[in-house]
Amino acid sequence: MKLEIGNFHVKDIVFGDKTAYTNGILTINKEEALAVVREDEHITEADLVIVKPGDKVRLVPVKEAIEPRHRVGGGPLFPGATGDLLQAGDGKTLALKGCSVLVVGKHWGGFQDGLIDMSGEGAKYTYYSQLKNIVLVADTDEDFEKNEQQKKNHALRWAGMRLAEYVGNCLAELQPEDVETYELGPVTKRSVEENGLPNVVIVLQPQSQMEESGYNDLCYGWDCNRMVPTFMHPNEVLDGAMISGSFMPCSSKWSTYDFQNFPMIKRLFQEHGKTINFLGVIMSNLNVALEQKQRSAQFVAQMAKSLGADAAIVAEEGYGNPDADFIACIVALEDAGVKTVGLTNECTGRDGASQPLVTLDEKADAIVSCGNVSDLIKLPPMETVIGELQALARDGLSGGWDNDAILGPSVKEDGSIIMENNAMFCGDQVVGWSTKTMKEF
């Protein structure tokens, strides 16, 4: 499979009469864009705001991030979810780089929603403060979700995907500024030189714990809870086969933008044919019952061994219960003779002194830490809040609280906040953006 991603590097975003891209300037017709958003009758209020790095803006509750793109030759940006099924990862896609569509609730937040600061101390905690963002601020009539801590955010998430597709379509007739090419030959038909290098596979464990549909990550529109581990071409992940779900404390979450730009996959492509033979992706899942966890680990190990993998990287989306899947997978791979490195965050408590993962094993002796989800973060008031700041405390965001016996409310009267890293939107960036690590004392 050969995927060409044609890039257009966005220098600025403005509103104007026509949605178009010219010389680094992305112009958006606001009314046309909002008409696309309002195609879902459940959207009751919607507005678009442009925010840029350095703006004195705080966004909360943030629900999703998507890179605007256009699939050359037609077809949905996210096959099986926003349109008919088709093969992702083989062909040409055009992408607006350096920007994203952010979806923010105008009022209601929940366990899986997060916060982004575009400037100041808080900006360092999330990759999305570095992007120029088209912010969809919207509300829905989904009354169930207003009263539930755990939300599916369906109308808002799908509106964000439609918006990203609409904006990306302005590239349809343009020639990209540069092109990234991702190509791997069939595993059994690699060159002598490639086959002479260490064989490496990456195992991804997207969030899939919820047994009720509508919460989990999707693969070609299919709920990952219904999957068994599956061998995938890495191009599929980069080209819209995977969609972020609406479950998991927010700092641990992988947004759709993360899947589209998965840094660790791109790094393995860079090393392919030089230092490694990149075999591909084993897309696993995260389960609830112990038997399900063990079954997935066995599938992953068998698949890696059958592919001839010498080494593996395992990345989990989440922590807590998923740690059991993560460690079981590493142990099964090591038992199969596959040297394995894990990528994860930790939950070591506010003092950093608790056990970092729910379960551990001596064979999991090479783990890259992306930081502690329970770190306390104190941030001053921000000049502008997009969304509703009180949602951080009122609606059970995983890193916020209404009142704490010692710390008081998460949201102070002057607009300053105290919260756990848990509520930073995709803050731990296990996919490969992260600059965080652990300190040993």
240: left (phi over 0), alpha (psi -120 to 50) or beta: left
Q: Give the number of other CB atoms < 10 A from CB of residue 273.
A: 15
Contact 46, 37 (CB under 8 A): yes
pLDDT of residue 435: 83
The string of DSSP codes covering 154-207 is HHHHHHHHHHHHHHHGGGTTPPPSEEEEEE---GGG--HHHHTSPEEEEEEE--
Residue 37, amino acid: V
435 domain residue, yes or no: no
Tokens matching residue 379: 């941030």
Distance separating alpha carbons of residues 211 and 111, to the nearest angstrom = 17
pLDDT of residue 434: 87
Distance separating alpha carbons of residues 341 and 21, to the nearest angstrom = 41
* Average pLDDT of the chain, as a whole number: 96
pLDDT of residue 36: 98
- The count of structural domains within the chain is 1
The closest alpha carbon to 66, from 263, 271, 352, 260, belongs to: 260
Q: What percent of the chain has pLDDT over 70?
A: 100
Q: What is the pLDDT of residues 302-342, one digit of tens each?
A: 999 999 999 999 999 999 999 999 999 999 999 999 999 99
Which residues, in sequence order, are bridge partners of residue 343? 315, 368
Q: Is residue 22 classed as helix, strand or coil in its secondary structure?
A: strand
Q: Which of 45-54, 101-110, 137-146 has the lowest mean pLDDT?
A: 137-146
The string of DSSP codes covering 127-147 is GGGGSEEEEEEEEE--HHHHS
Q: What is the mean pLDDT of residues 233-241?
A: 98
Domain limits at 261? 2-423
pLDDT of residue 197: 98
Tokens matching residue 241: 């086969």
Q: Give the number of other CB atoms < 10 A from CB of residue 377.
A: 19
State which H helix or E strand residue 394 sits in: helix 391-394
The string of DSSP codes covering 305-338 is HHHT-SEEEEEES--STHHHHHHHHHHHHHHTT-
pLDDT of 441 strictly over 70: no
Distance separating alpha carbons of residues 223 and 48, to the nearest angstrom = 30
246 domain residue, yes or no: yes
Q: What percent of the chain has pLDDT over 90?
A: 92
The closest alpha carbon to 62, from 326, 255, 318, belongs to: 255
In 321-416, where do the E strands start and end?
Answer: 339-346, 367-372, 376-379, 384-387
Band (pLDDT 50/70/90 cuts) for residue 146 is: confident
Looking at per-residue pLDDT, the higher value among 143 and 255 belongs to 255
Contact 375, 94 (CB under 8 A): no
Cis peptide before 61 (omega within 30 of 0): yes
441 domain residue, yes or no: no
Q: Which of 15-19, 183-187, 315-319, 432-436 has the lowest mean pLDDT?
A: 432-436
Tokens matching residue 16: 């104007």
pLDDT of 213 strictly over 80: yes
Q: Decide: residue 134, CB within 10 A, 0-12 exposed, 13-18 middle, 19+ buried.
A: buried
Contact 431, 313 (CB under 8 A): no
Distance separating alpha carbons of residues 133 and 68, to the nearest angstrom = 10
pLDDT of 58 strictly over 70: yes
Q: What is the mean pLDDT of residues 2-16?
A: 98
The closest alpha carbon to 226, from 300, 283, 280, 150, belongs to: 283
Band (pLDDT 50/70/90 cuts) for residue 352 is: confident
The closest alpha carbon to 242, from 365, 81, 16, belongs to: 81
Q: What is the mean pLDDT of residues 100-106?
A: 97
Q: What is the pLDDT of residues 395-439, one digit of tens each?
A: 989 999 999 999 999 999 999 999 999 999 999 999 999 888 767
Tokens matching residue 103: 């979806």
Q: What is the mean pLDDT of residues 15-20?
A: 98
283 domain residue, yes or no: yes
pTM of the model: 0.97
Tokens matching residue 329: 């997978």
Cross-sheet strand order for the sheet of 230-232? 230-232, 277-283, 199-205, 311-316, 339-346, 367-372
284 domain residue, yes or no: yes
Q: What is the pLDDT of residues 239-295, one digit of tens each?
A: 999 999 998 899 999 999 999 999 999 999 999 999 999 999 999 999 989 899 999
Q: Which of 26-30, 109-113, 135-139, 437-441 has the lowest mean pLDDT?
A: 437-441
pLDDT of residue 47: 98
438 domain residue, yes or no: no
Q: Which of 5-9, 217-221, 369-373 has the lowest mean pLDDT?
A: 369-373
